[in-house]
Structure 1
């Protein structure tokens, strides 16, 4: 191997190391619990709040409240039915 080829390989290896280090840093950041929580909070907010105007999305809020109320009523009804028998 000539000196130029060796130098070229060394610089290529150094570039690859830098890219890998950046990738590892990004994976560590994405996998941190704090970052995961921030992403999940942002996802939930996106469902219930319009990102442009900041106004609540009443349709989605109503659907969620309806689902919760329906589930509570279903559970209460099932408990009452099972206690009677």
Structure 2
């Protein structure tokens, strides 16, 4: 096995250092609260609005219907209890 030259080792260490710096930067970017909030908002918005900005009725209508049923159920139960 040939010995590595000092210049080769320095170059390899520098490459490793650059990859590590890129990895740390990526981790910082992924864990920044603002970026987490932005990704979460985008994910939530993409469930209800398509790429053109039109609402996704297939997702919105069942959600609204479920909400109406729950509210109506609460109202009925409160009236029965009184």
Structure 1 CA distance, aligned partners of 2:27 and 2:77?
Answer: 46
Question: Post-superposition shift, 1:6?
Answer: 1.5
Question: Matches of 2:72 and 2:58 in 1, distance apart?
Answer: 21
What TM-score, normalized by structure 2, do the two folds share?
Answer: 0.81
Q: How many residues align?
A: 81
Cα displacement (A) at 1:59: 1.7
Task: Please list the CA deviations of residues 29-77 of structure 1 after superposition, one character each: whole Å capped at 9, or x if unmatched.
Answer: 11011001110111111111111x2211112111111122222233334
2:11 matched residue in structure 1 = 11
User: Unaligned 5+ residue runs, structure 1?
Assistant: none
